[in-house]
Amino acid sequence: MAEISAQSVKQLRDITGAGMMACKKALQETQGNMEKAILKLREKGLAEAQKKASRIAKEGKIGSYIHFGGKVGVLLELNCETDFVANTDEFNTLLKDLTMQVAAMSPLYVKIEDVPQDIIEKEKSFYKEQLLKENKPPQVVEKIIEGKINKYFKQTCLLEQPFIKDETITVKEYIAQYISKLGENVSVRRFVRFEVGKV
């Protein structure tokens, strides 16, 4: 087994926020390859997060963020399982990052399931009309529409958006890292974004 330096373990911990032992194990399993170790920890975090996702998160906090100049404001409710976790620095860091994400990226919904079916159908028929004008074959049209709908979800659903501080991961994956760190289910319940002059 490859000899892993304490410096490498610390570096991986700083990048991922995972525990020291988990970082050391990931580096050993990947022969000290930092990129692969990051991926391994990410996958593990997502798997653990999925296990915890079914647990009820009824505690939490409402966070607020007012963008510089007071033109944009956000209120967001982030839930967890216990009051103890709601008061940790990690939870509050996540809450702050999520309110900033909403301020910067203007999502309309929390998750894909929140998008009304009639909106999805409207988007699909709009794309279909465009593509048929271009005389694309029907099987190609369906594929393109599917891609465009996924792109629409990435723009309008908070959890599907690229995270503003690290665009290699989605907001959903970013939250999953915290679920792994905190050992509890954490979920965004709702948010509202205000912008001066906009309804």
pTM of the full structure: 0.70
Q: Residue 16: its pLDDT value, please? A: 67
Q: What is the pLDDT along the chain (199 residues), one digit of tens a residue?
A: 557 888 888 887 777 666 677 788 888 888 888 888 878 777 776 556 556 555 666 789 999 999 878 999 999 999 998 889 999 999 999 999 999 999 999 999 999 999 999 999 988 888 888 777 777 777 787 888 888 899 999 999 999 999 999 999 999 999 998 988 888 889 999 999 999 988 7
Query: Which residues make Cβ contacts (< 8 Å) with residue 126, sequence separation at least 6?
Result: none
Helix residue spans in 112-137 (DSSP H): 117-133
Domains and CATH numbers, the chain: 6-52 (1.10.8.10), 59-111+157-195 (3.30.479.20), 116-155 (1.10.286)
Query: Which residues make Cβ contacts (< 8 Å) with residue 193, sequence separation at least 6?
Result: 72, 73, 74, 102, 103, 106
Longest dimension (CA), the chain: 61
Residue with tokens 């580096």: 27
Contact 94, 172 (CB under 8 A): no
Q: Residue 99: its pLDDT value, please? A: 97
The closest of 63, 44, 81 to 176, measured between CA atoms, is 44
Estimate the crossing angle of helix 6-16 against helix 20-29, to 10 degrees.
Answer: 110
Tell me how far apart the alpha carbons of residues 152 and 161 are, in angstroms, rounded to a whole number: 10
Number of H helices, E strands in the chain: 8, 5
Estimate the crossing angle of helix 171-182 against helix 89-105, to 10 degrees.
Answer: 170
For the record, the structure tokens of 170 come out as 């989605």
For the record, the structure tokens of 183 come out as 């050992």
Tell me how far apart the alpha carbons of residues 121 and 137 are, in angstroms, rounded to a whole number: 20
Exposure of 124 by Cβ count < 10 A (0-12 exposed, 13-18 middle, 19+ buried)? middle
Q: Residue 13: its pLDDT value, please? A: 75
Tell me how far apart the alpha carbons of residues 72 and 80 are, in angstroms, rounded to a whole number: 26
